[in-house]
């Protein structure tokens, strides 16, 4: 499954919200430096979708706020 994700790094709390348009908004409680926010994003999405972290991959937007994520569900 591929999803479009809008990431807000440096938030106090981590959260996942899906908009009616189908965009997934994720607040990440890690700074946007040295890949920390991306690593935390993968952890949050893996927990949210009930898959392993190795099944979540950022395919586009590694340094952007809007990312394309691929999730393999086993």
At 20-74, the pLDDT tens digits run: 988 899 999 999 999 999 999 999 999 999 999 999 999 999 999 999 999 998 6
Domains (ranges, CATH) in the chain? 2-71 (3.30.1200.10)
Quote the pLDDT of residue 74: 63
Structure tokens of 45? 């999405």
Exposed e or buried b for every residue in 19-33, given b needs 16+ CB within 10 A?
Answer: eeeeebebbbebeee
Q: Give the whole-angstrom CA distance, residue 23 versus residue 36.
A: 22
């Amino acid at each position: 499954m591929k999803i479009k994700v809008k990431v807000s790094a440096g938030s106090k709390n981590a959260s996942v919200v899906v908009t009616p348009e189908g965009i997934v908004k994720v607040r990440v409680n890690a700074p946007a430096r040295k890949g920390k926010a991306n690593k935390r994003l993968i952890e949050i999405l893996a927990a949210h979708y009930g898959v392993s972290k190795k099944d979540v991959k950022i395919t586009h937007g590694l340094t952007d706020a809007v990312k394309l994520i691929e999730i393999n569900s086993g």
